[in-house]
Structure 1
Amino acid sequence: MPESVLADPLARGSFDGVAATAERPSLAFASRVGQGVNIGQAWDLAAGAPLGPPIPDFPADRADWAFGLPAGSPIVAWTHRDRLHVHDLGTGRELTLDAQPDLVGLTVHHGRGAVVAVFGPANDAEVAVWDALTGDRLAGFHLWLGHRSAIGRRLLHATPAAGPITGLTGDSAVTLLDLERGEEIATAPSRAPSASLPPATALTPSPDGLVLLYPAPEGLGVHGLDGDRLATLSTPAPCDHVAAALVDGHLLVAAALQDAPDTLLAWNAASPAPSHRVRLPAPANDLSLAPDGTLLAATDTALYTACLRT
């Protein structure tokens, strides 16, 4: 039986998105519905306290913002009113670019922390990369997105561990992009075409290098970037809101059950059976895992944390 773990509120309020750093220090960023307008807030998970002041007019759509450690300093990037904002939480410096992309992510481009953006339409989508500190344009190329635009997709990144590699989700596949080479390098199926499962996908470092996680009819799959299945984690029902992190040399994975989004399961990916079960007072809107083993869940009542260290 999975070990039951209590979830504690880090902050009260209605939260719609959360993201954690892929490497230490363990920091997080969450978007929260304020008084008629969303705000964004960074958190120091070791201290259990806010990191810097809140950011007003922050987007609600998770595809419109990104958070991570692309080059040693925590950076959050977001779109607002035809502008792309890039804020360094370590220095307080903010960069504003004249752009309104459909998707935003973070990356490392030849050792420089950078922000990546995708613009539609589907038949001639553009990928652009800018230096996160100077705003210099570092790369740009076009991409074929089939018969759909970038809207409704997500950029997957795990900076700095992922280097220049980012994933672009689709209906039934994840397109892997090398942003330094400016090209698509692989396409991995994110679910069986006939399966009525959500494209809940994560890109994360692991003991086997970078891996993709996504649901399949037989369980939650862990795949290498070459598409090879490395592990299958058993699930009692289809999963949604997948999160993962490399914690003390182990790949930890968490997911919400699609039909019971207030129930979270967690795995040490070395074993197919879930190791932990977390019950939330409200359904999860988003999940993230920090490199210290802290699971974060954004809900309509609070931002919750639970310790999954093994």
Structure 2
Amino acid sequence: MPSTLILAQVLNGVQFGLMLFLLAAGLTLVFGIMDMINLAHGSLYMVGAYFTATFVTWTGSFWGGLALAIPVTAAVGMALEVVLLRKLYRRDHLSQVLATFALVLLANEIVSMLWGRTPLSISLPESLNGPVEIFPGFNYPAYRLLIIGAGVAVAVLLYVLVVHTRLGAHVRAGASNPDMARVMGVKIGTLFTAVFGIGAALCALAGGLLGPLLAVQVGMGESILILAFVVIVIGGIGSIRGALVGALLVGVIDTAGRALLPLLLRQIASREIASSVGPAIASILIYVLMAAILVVKPRGLFPARG
């Protein structure tokens, strides 16, 4: 098996993992701080992708469309938190699951009415529509390298935000003991809205960046939401570091496994069997990894303190 093929698939896995991190980071903050299971988080990813496609068409610029879609999606997320989700914080998890699942269905229907059922596409920027030679004999798409760079930059910014800023201190205090934080003067309601807005903005960034690689279509948030939940369970609920490590593990295992396992299985089975069984085994490996980690560390690899 060529080493360049393995390296390309690992980079694809890193790129996909970093996009998963953008979703999982917001999801783990909402889950860890608000103790809320939000199944509608994937719908914000879908809405962000649709807004990006629309604004790219209006402005004629990919970067202009993405820059507009991020704050608009953040505003939608904050409005959703204020109007509806805030009422669910003190409800049990079953009520949260049922209510946010209803939001998923509602979001799909609203998107269908506004944009239709036909998938949309987002054109790659001309400057990034080609490969980059990383070293002699190995080229890799420039746009995927940009996604990797954007994911790393967001991870660094989130770390600085959570660990080295006053807002981050309030977030950590609200996660550890919201009642005590409220007594000490932290405006918990405003804090929760801000955290939800940050999570929605990260969803829009992920949806916009993946839009040129995937079809922008109704229901695109459901499948990736499942992987995002796997990520935060592996990494530890409420942990940004855990979300990053878990996302990279899931991204590399899923992407590289789907591409490389069929090639390995062809050594012992027919091409048809290898092509169908390989991706299925790769998908199973993610959940096997999650189960193994939970047996050893029930709270995940890097559980949040508090």
TM-score (ref. length: structure 1): 0.24
Which structure has more relative contact order (CA 8 Å, sep 6+)? It is 2
Q: Which has the higher helix share?
A: 2
Give the number of the structure whose residues are more often strand, by fraction: 1
| Rg larger for | 2
